[in-house]
Amino acid sequence: MEALIAKVNAFLAKLYIPCKVPADKQMHFIGGLVIAALLTPFIGAYSIVVVAIIALLKEIYDYLHKDIHTPDFWDWVATVLGGLVGFVIVALLG
């Protein structure tokens, strides 16, 4: 996944569009997008709610395991924004 993000950032840099979003937030965004895109055909806009719940549970897990994970509100935001974008893309295509 990190290699894919590095390639996307390299492509954007060639277009003179620097991406200053940390790779961690990009991965959360992509995760939310993929989950919502897969669920939207079956449950519609509720896919955004499911993504938000999954992201919240992941951050709670990170909070409970601080020795190996870092809980971050902005990770949750990035995941939910990805879910929203995934929903919109599928809704517009379908």
pLDDT tens digits, residue range 62-86? Answer: 999 999 999 999 999 999 999 999 9
H helices present in 15-72, as ranges? 23-43, 46-64
Of residues 94 and 82, more confidence is placed in 82
For the residues 41-60, what does the mean pLDDT come to?
A: 98
Residue 93 has phi, psi (to 5 degrees) of -80, -30
pLDDT of 15 over the 80 cut: no
pLDDT of 17 over the 70 cut: no
